[in-house]
Amino acid sequence: MLFNITAKDKKTSARTAELELPHGKIDTPVFMPVGTNAAVKGLRHDSLDNIGFKIILANTYHLYLRPGEELINNFEGLHKFSNWNHNILTDSGGFQVFSLAPFRKIKEEGVYFRSHIDGSYHTLTPEKVVNIQKAFRSDIMMQLDVCTPPEITYKKALEALELTTRWAKRCKTEWLKEMPGYEGVLFGIVQGNFYEDLRKRSAEEIVELDLPGTAIGGLSVGEEYNVFKDYLSYTAALLPEEKPRYLMGIGTPEYILDAVENGIDLFDCVLPTRIARNGTVFTPEGTIALKKARFAESHEPIHEGCGCYTCQHYSKAYLRHLFKAGEMLGPMLASEHNLYFLNNMIKEIRQSIKEGKFAEYKSAFLSRYNSAGSTGKAS
Amino acid sequence: MLFNITAKDKKTSARTAELELPHGKIDTPVFMPVGTNAAVKGLRHDSLDNIGFKIILANTYHLYLRPGEELINNFEGLHKFSNWNHNILTDSGGFQVFSLAPFRKIKEEGVYFRSHIDGSYHTLTPEKVVNIQKAFRSDIMMQLDVCTPPEITYKKALEALELTTRWAKRCKTEWLKEMPGYEGVLFGIVQGNFYEDLRKRSAEEIVELDLPGTAIGGLSVGEEYNVFKDYLSYTAALLPEEKPRYLMGIGTPEYILDAVENGIDLFDCVLPTRIARNGTVFTPEGTIALKKARFAESHEPIHEGCGCYTCQHYSKAYLRHLFKAGEMLGPMLASEHNLYFLNNMIKEIRQSIKEGKFAEYKSAFLSRYNSAGSTGKAS
């Protein structure tokens, strides 16, 4: 893996870089669409490719349960299994265990849980998640960590971060065992909940391990926006500048701008495709809900000037009709628009950083994005 | 409209032709995918275009109820509304009134019914369905007819066909009223249930009206296969040779081959996309159900040698995984395959007719299609 910073903003921590991974080079900052089951909901791979995505995220928890790492290994990894020839980042599965499994118990050894699909019992250890992700041939794999919700006690937050560090070490040891032909990298995860000294301690311990990249976990987990911003900025500043930084689970334009401002290079979120399936789409003036009656007769695309397939071919009236009629094509076209919109925004962000104008870009974007007030927002 | 027969099979009534419609020329025999709400389920219009479809069917009943003909007229028709630049055939809505509406009553004037969406009361008259289809700018519009189920009495079948003829005359009168810029054509529909003399009488009365094309209605409505074949062959022979013949509502390979053999030029069916959404796909050896465990580890495409996007890019193991995981991409890719398969079959059929080998083609196709027996069939 090579990480080459190509431009730095003067007023903020924003930067652009080139990240060389086993399946090609990507320009950062970058938004990664989520393909939970090795499929981004509603888009064919060639659509993702045409938009310009060079990396997607897949969920280890889901793919471990179904179809299982053995089958994926028989296909020599996720890329060949799903026929996606660019990069794939996989999470460790830990977050989904905490959010989806009907039962889980954390022990020193690992996490014990029951499948949300069939109730079967499973164990994920740090070593096991590394080996699953090796079977996946993940270009970036994540360590097993303990993600905590807001408002837990200091003691619990401390225990979670300490265990996260011990698991990071075990993941590193397992990752370092060579696997011929595989060159994916391991990222550590900073936890520490919403306690500054714990964030600091976690960052020091994870950075100490000298892994190829660092992620910030446990943010955007239900805390208030100002708390998110404070902890993002506090934590990001603790991470080494020369390595890629990944903020897990964010994907609204506002959060992306905050992340970039604080020197984050990678982020992912299900939000753009999830809201699209319900008919909510991004525009430079904020999100709009396509089902609203006021679009019933609109001959205009979602956003005049948008270069996406949907905006190039369809009116809001037709899109609204598709959603009202429950046609699959509605979610398909709305998802494509939302991903195109975010990718295009990221391209503009990179350009603004190169031109030393990121702060101006952010300010202008947000001013326009929030301009329509409640009438321009999805409810 | 021009209809130019380009080849005739010697042993059967099969023929190829060119049909010139307002939105371009199509080669017949042709299979028309069904886009109930002006959208073929699971496929973008560019995918339909890439496969080679030059005509799709849309349902007047659905589009009349939602979004309504006034809105579609404001877009100057369905083509611009849905951004489909090739031809569109619309049915009259009558069949859906009989199959979907929770209440309907047939009177001389027209059909009275309640919407299956919101229970609202509506009336469709022969004049009204013509004007709705004019608002749609349908390239081929269908008359309002009375479609009857198998096993009704002779008296009821007679009444239905007589009313169908009277409605055909009223449709013709309304269709002949000029609408500047609109050049779509009206097809009449032969009814007569499963009584040979009534089929003959209906055909004579409809043919007498000298409309641009003739459809056979009231077949493939639940009758046994042999009854279908007998009445198809009996009725098709009663239709003028020099005009296009349309068999409504058929779309399995077996029924398509029977239709072509009897000189049918157009057919449509929801079946290829409906079964695809459930994971059932066509192969030259019969249909297969992708969810079956035996495909779990298959590196092979649905059908080796198939030129569709799905078969060119994905294994059965990945497709099965998508269906097991409930990913939208599964229905999308399976629908694309099934429509490609039928369109490719139709191309081969046209070629076989031109080479005077249709009977051989049919026999070879069916022999292979039925070769796998129950193991090759979807259950």
* Helices B329-354 and B358-369, packing angle to 10 deg: 150
Q: Residue B134 carries which DSSP code?
A: H
Q: Does B378 lie at the interface with A, CB-CB under 8 angstroms?
A: no
Task: Return the closest-CA partner of residue A280 out of A335, A208, A347, A318.
Answer: A335
**What pLDDT is stored for residue B373 in this prediction?**
55
ipTM greater than 0.85, yes or no? yes
| 3-class secondary-structure state, position B26 | strand
Query: Helices A225-236 and A196-208 sit at what angle, rounded to 10 degrees?
Result: 40
Q: Which amino acid is at B26?
A: I
Question: Residue A189, Cβ neighbours under 10 Å: how many?
Answer: 30
- pLDDT < 70 positions in chain A: 373-379
Strand order in the sheet with A87-90: A30-33, A266-269, A245-247, A213-216, A185-190, A140-142, A87-90, A55-58
Residue B313, chain A, CB below 8 Å: the answer is yes
Each residue of A316-362: pLDDT tens digit?
A: 999 999 999 999 999 999 999 999 999 999 999 999 999 999 999 99
What tokens does A101 get?
């499994």
The beta-carbon neighbor of A44 closest among B320, B331, B332 is: B332
**Gyration radius from chain B CA atoms:** 20
Count Cβ atoms below 10 Å from residue B338 Cβ, excluding itself.
Answer: 27
A49 tagged catalytic: no
Which chain B positions have a beta carbon within 8 Å of A83's beta carbon? 313-314, 318
Closest residue of chain B to A320, computed from CA coordinates: B67
B318/A74 touch (CB, cutoff 8 Å), yes or no: no
- What letter represents residue A184's amino acid? G
CA distance A246 to A173: 21
B11/A contact by beta carbon, under 8 A:
no
Q: What mean pLDDT, rounded, does chain B reach?
A: 96
The whole-angstrom distance between residue B24's C-alpha and the CA centroid of its chain comes to 19
Query: Quick check: helix, strand or coil at residue B280?
Result: strand
Give per-residue pLDDT as tens, B335-364.
Answer: 999 999 999 999 999 999 999 999 999 999
By DSSP bridging, strand A103-106 and strand A111-114 are: antiparallel
Tokens 């937050």 correspond to A157
- Residue A328 touches partner B, C-beta closer than 8 Å: yes
Which of A43, A309, A321 is the closest to B37 by Cβ?
Answer: A321
Report the predicted TM-score, pTM, of the whole model to 2 decimal places: 0.96
Neighbours of B183 (CB within 10 A): 12
Strand B103-106, strand B266-269: pairing: unpaired
B23 and B5 in contact (C-beta within 8 Å)? no
| Residue extents of the structural domains in chain B | 2-269, 276-376
Rounded Cα distance, B325 and B313, in Å: 19
The reply to whether residue B332 touches residue A331, judged by beta carbons under 8 angstroms, is no
Among the listed residues B307, B333, B309, B305, the one whose alpha carbon sits nearest the alpha carbon of residue B319: B333
Question: According to the model, what pLDDT value does residue A98 have?
Answer: 86
C-alpha–C-alpha distance, residues A365 and B235, integer Å: 66
Within B153-195, residue ranges assigned H as helices are 154-176
Tell me if chain B has a CB within 8 Å of the CB of A315.
yes
What pLDDT, on a 0 to 100 scale, did the predictor assign at position B370?
A: 95
B291 and chain A in contact, CB less than 8 A: no
Q: Are A39 and B327 in contact (CB < 8 Å)? A: yes
The sheet with strand A15-21 has its strands ordered as A2-8, A15-21, A24-28
What is the least distance, in Å, from the CA of A87 to any CA of chain B?
17
Q: What is the spatial distance between Cα B33 and Cα B37, in angstroms, rounded to a whole number? A: 12
Name the residue type at position B42. G
Q: For residue B327, which residues of chain A lie inside 8 Å, CB to CB?
A: 37, 39, 41
Query: Residue B374: what pLDDT?
Result: 42
Nearest CA in chain A to B277: A328
Whole-number average pLDDT of chain A: 96
A300 token code pair = 């205009």
Q: Do A328 and B324 touch (CB under 8 A)?
A: no
Q: Does B166 touch chain A (CB under 8 A)?
A: no
Closest CA to A4 of A180, A218, A244: A244
Whether the CB-CB separation of B12 and B359 falls below 8 Å is answered with yes
The secondary structure of A232-253, three-state, reads HHHHHCCCCCCCCEEECCCCCH
| Cα-trace Rg, chain A | 20
- Please identify which of the residues A9, A91, A145, A258 carries the catalytic annotation: A91
**Candidates B45, B299, B324; nearest CB to A66:** B324
Q: State the fold for domain A2-269.
A: TIM Barrel (3.20.20)
Is the sign of the CA dihedral A344, A345, A346, A350 positive or negative? positive
- Number of CB pairs, chain A paired with chain B, less than 8 A apart: 105
* Structure tokens that stand for B222 in this block: 């639940």
Residues of chain B contacting A324 with CB distance shorter than 8 Å: 66-67
Q: What is the distance between the alpha carbons of residues A172 and B123, in angstroms, rounded to a whole number?
A: 72
Which residues of A, range 186-245, sit inside 8 Å of B by Cβ? none
On whether the CB atoms of residues B314 and A83 are closer than 8 A, the answer is yes
- SS3 assignment, position B164: helix
CB of A298 within 8 Å of a chain B CB? The answer is no
Cβ-based contacts of B290 with chain A (< 8 Å): none
Nearest to B321 among A37, A296, A317 (CB): A37
Q: Is the dihedral of CA B336, A85, A137, B297 positive or negative?
A: positive
Answer whether residue B175 shows pLDDT above 90: yes
Strands A213-216 and A15-21: unpaired
Catalytic annotation present for A91: yes
Alpha helices in chain A (DSSP H): 45-51, 60-65, 69-74, 78-82, 94-100, 126-135, 154-176, 196-208, 225-236, 253-261, 271-277, 309-313, 316-324, 329-354, 358-369
Tell me if B324 and A299 make a contact (CB, 8 A cut-off).
no
Position B377 confidence tier, pLDDT thresholds 50, 70, 90: very low
Chain B residues whose CB is inside 8 A of the A43 CB are 329
Alpha-carbon gap, residue B192 to B166, rounded angstroms: 14
Instruction: Find the range with the poorest average confidence among A198-202, A265-269, B148-152, B178-182.
Output: B148-152
| Block residue for tokens 């099965």 | B320
Catalytic site residue from B9, B91, B258, B265: B91
Q: Are the beta carbons of B318 and B326 closer than 8 angstroms?
A: no
Residues of B in contact with A45 (CB under 8 A): 313
Q: Is the dihedral of CA B204, B209, B210, B215 positive or negative?
A: negative
Contact at 8 Å (CB) between B163 and B117? no
- Among residues A3, A45, A194, A28, which one has the least CA distance to residue B333? A45
Q: Report d(CA B267, CA B254) in Å as an integer.
A: 13
The answer to whether B42 and B335 are in contact (CB under 8 A) is yes
Cα separation, A309 vs B9, whole angstroms: 43
| Contact (Cβ atoms closer than 8 angstroms) between residue B157 and residue B182 | no
Flag if B317 and A82 touch (Cβ within 8 Å): no
Smallest Cβ–Cβ distance between A318 and the set B42, B81, B317 belongs to B81
pLDDT of the residue at B375: 43
Contacts of A42 in chain B (CB under 8 A): 328-329, 332
**CA-closest candidate to residue B331, choices A332, A367, A171:** A332
Strand partners, A190: A216
Q: Quickly list DSSP for B35-62.
A: -TTSS-TT--HHHHHHHT--EEEE-HHH
